[in-house]
Structures are given as C-alpha cells and as structure tokens.
Amino acid sequence: MDHDHMSPPPPMAPMKKHYTSMTFFWGRKAEVLFSDWPGDHRGMYALALIVVFLLAAGTEMVTSHRVDRYTSGRSLAQTAVHTLRVGLMYLLMLAVMSFNGGIFIAACIGHAVGFLLFRSAIFSKQRDEPSCPEGTKYRDLPSMSC
C-alpha cells in the first residue's frame, strides 16, 4: 500500500456551541439535561425551571410515601419506588450540574416546598409508624428504614 498518495482527511465540521460552565453563572443560556435545551429561549428556560422545581418536589413526595405500609415486608414494589426515587435524584443532580444559578435555586425551592407539603408535620398530624419500634414518632426527617 502506497502511503505517499493518501488524500488528506476531510475538514472538521464546525462544532455547535455548548453552554457549559464549571462555575455558577446567571442567565438563561444553559443546557439542562439535554443538548440545546433550553438553549437561548426565555420560554424554554422558564419551562426548565418549572421541570427542575417539579423534579425536586416530586423527589420529596416519593420519599415521603412508605410503601411497606401497603405491601407485606420487602417486595418488588419497594424496589420500584426506591429506583424511581434514586432516578429522580440523579436527574436532579444532572440538572444542577449545569451550574446555572436559576436551576440551582429552582431545585432548592422545589425541595423546600416538597418537604413542606409532603414530609413536615405542618400539613399532617404526627403519626406513629407501624413498622417502627413502639414510641418512635414519624418526624420531619424520617429515616428511610424506620
């Protein structure tokens, strides 16, 4: 094979500009979870903030529900709920890793509102957990195991 007459490689296609940063920044030019989303569009950035808020609040909702109340012992349902919870938390982590200040604040506020609605004693009576030792109260920060 004659290597002296090889043609040069084709020119590189221009790369799309990605909005990545390794420090927090403010503004709507971000990439959250998917490439080019929300991009540079105000409406899509607002949607991204709402999605991140709902992911955080949803994580708190899933965390607050005890599946073992409705199933006998360890089960496939407990595993499915745990997998859903962890998946939501990883999605949220990836969104916050966009280093966009607005996305970070939306995640924090989503967690706070979700905790207030689903896990704090403000909107629900403190209750005894049937699976916990006698006298143990379900408080603001319940353990996942008891």
Give residue-wise pLDDT tens across range 32-51: 877 777 777 789 899 999 99
CA-based nearest residue to 114, from 92, 136, 145: 92
Q: How confident is the model at residue 139 (pLDDT cuts 50, 70, 90)?
A: very low
Residue with tokens 């409705």: 70
Taking only the tens place, the pLDDT of each residue in 80-137 is 888 989 999 999 999 998 888 999 999 999 999 999 998 887 776 554 444 555 544 4
pLDDT of res. 32: 82
Please check whether residue 52 is in contact with residue 103, taking contact to mean a CB–CB distance below 8 angstroms.
Answer: yes
Q: How confident is the model at residue 73 (pLDDT cuts 50, 70, 90)?
A: low
| Residue of higher predicted confidence among 14 and 56 | 56
Residue with tokens 């143990």: 136
Average pLDDT over residues 8-16: 65
Q: Which runs of consecutive H residues, i.e. helices, occur in 65-121?
A: 76-96, 101-118
